[in-house]
Amino acid sequence: MHEAVDRQTYPRDVQWSRGAADPAAASVTARVPIGVFRTVFPAPSETFIQDQVASLRRFEPHMVVREHLAPGGGRVHAPSAAWKRRLWTLTRWPGAFPLRELRGLRLLHAHFGLDAVMALPLSRRLGIPLVTTFHGSDVTTDRTRFARSRKPTQRWFAARESELIREGAAFVAVSRFVEQKLLACGYPPDKVRQIYIGIDLERFVPAPRRDGPRYVLCVARHTFKKGLDTLIRAWARIAARHPDVELWQVGEGGLTPLYVRLAQELGVGERMRFLGVRSHDEVLRLMQQAEAFVLPSQTAEDGDSEALGIVFNEASACCVPVVSTWHGGIPEAVLHGETGLLCQERDDTALAEHIDLLLRDRALALRLGRRGREYVCEMFDIRKQTPKLEALYDEVMTRGAPAARTAGREHESLAATGSSRPASAASPAGDRSSESL
């Protein structure tokens, strides 16, 4: 099904922790240092952040994080002790971070709105502008849910989002859908920019077909929003028509036992493989050999919705046809009848018909897959999207940092202590409190 497609060239030797190593980037004599803020980094499900950071050419990224999950990398700045991490989570105290190491940064770019609210006092203290990228759940989820949450970061967001709206230098929407949500939430139109993150089209490429099992692939965390119960019900409707095809699902989560039980109850337990969490490289290899990629996302009870779904871009880049839903920003990633097939949320009958059609009509599947690759090259090439982000950085640095003129007073007494430990901060051995934050 996957015939040869011209490979888009893009250097892969650029590592987020080492800066650029390709000739074009090496010719730049002085890259501008910026901070990239994420509470926990790197998260296995957020490789898109690492890819975007690695694609920067004119800027030198420094990761600023509460918890670093991959010790040993370069240019990572985090609190030096567990008690500092905990105190920062509870108070947003900027002195928890190694401020001297951060003094040369020109701006701070936070991923997710919740992280931006947490990072706002730090950007004030450093006197640099704060750029925020919104990824979906942070702008679609019912704000009252955050206010009722037991997690400090969510409560901070509910209480201080207005500060972010007022003081943030720029707000990046990863899709047009997210852009409209931001405007509806009161974010200033002159500061909202829609910029796709994009994917690496040198890495995500079609591969020659190998002998092996035929399968339909789904990659998703086991949460209600991903609609896996709808997928299992749809598969139960058509599995008997395709005895040589299985449904393979990559991912796990709190609903895993429910989904495994549902597959058994519907009689397709032996026709499905729950593969658990796999590495990004493994997912790529699975995607390249799949008959189709299916993910029927749906709106969660609290409003949480998909911003776009980079995984759809990745599948299309591999010339794999996509089946999904008219949900959130997905119609921006999947063109119905052109790069894939869409149906209404929670409609397992229509979903089953779409999957069945692609398995029966190989010519259609091939056509949708080829057009998917073309569309991704047109719209979601990380080489085209990252320069737009860098242009926004230029603009923001020219404007300066309004947050520096409105530094919060609530942290001044703590910041004045420098590296001294506040008496109120507890430091139990092996403190893991931040895992639930």
pLDDT over 90 percentage in the chain: 80
**pLDDT tens track for 202-211:** 999 999 989 9
Is pLDDT of 92 > 90?
yes
**What is the rounded average pLDDT of the residues 343-359?**
98
Compare 411 and 280 and report the one with higher pLDDT: 280
Is pLDDT of 412 > 80?
no
**pLDDT tens track for 8-18:** 322 333 333 32
Quickly state the pLDDT bin for 287 (edges 50, 70, 90): very high
For residues 274 and 247, is the Cβ–Cβ distance under 8 A?
A: no
**pLDDT tens track for 94-103:** 999 999 999 9
Distance (Å, whole) CA 34 – CA 108: 6
pLDDT given for residue 24 in this prediction? 46
**pLDDT tens track for 221-239:** 999 999 999 999 999 999 9
Quickly state the pLDDT bin for 410 (edges 50, 70, 90): very low
**pLDDT tens track for 296-342:** 999 999 999 999 999 999 999 999 999 999 999 999 999 999 999 99
Quickly state the pLDDT bin for 42 (edges 50, 70, 90): confident
Is pLDDT of 30 > 60?
yes
Fold of the CATH domain 214-379: Rossmann fold (3.40.50)
pLDDT given for residue 73 in this prediction? 56
Quickly state the pLDDT bin for 27 (edges 50, 70, 90): very low
pLDDT given for residue 72 in this prediction? 54
Quickly state the pLDDT bin for 395 (edges 50, 70, 90): very high
Q: How far is CA 65 from CA 62, 117, 244, 371, in A?
A: 10, 14, 47, 39
Domains 23-198+383-428 and 214-379 share a fold: yes
Compare 430 and 60 and report the one with higher pLDDT: 60
Fold of the CATH domain 23-198+383-428: Rossmann fold (3.40.50)
**pLDDT tens track for 235-274:** 999 999 999 999 999 999 999 999 999 999 999 999 999 9
Q: Which of 36-50, 140-154, 168-182, 272-286 has the lowest mean pLDDT?
A: 36-50
pLDDT given for residue 55 in this prediction? 96
Distance (Å, whole) CA 383 – CA 201: 9
- Domains of the chain by residue range: 23-198+383-428, 214-379
Quickly state the pLDDT bin for 276 (edges 50, 70, 90): very high
pLDDT given for residue 46 in this prediction? 87
pLDDT over 70 percentage in the chain: 84
pLDDT given for residue 402 in this prediction? 63
**pLDDT tens track for 114-152:** 999 999 999 999 999 999 999 999 999 999 999 999 999
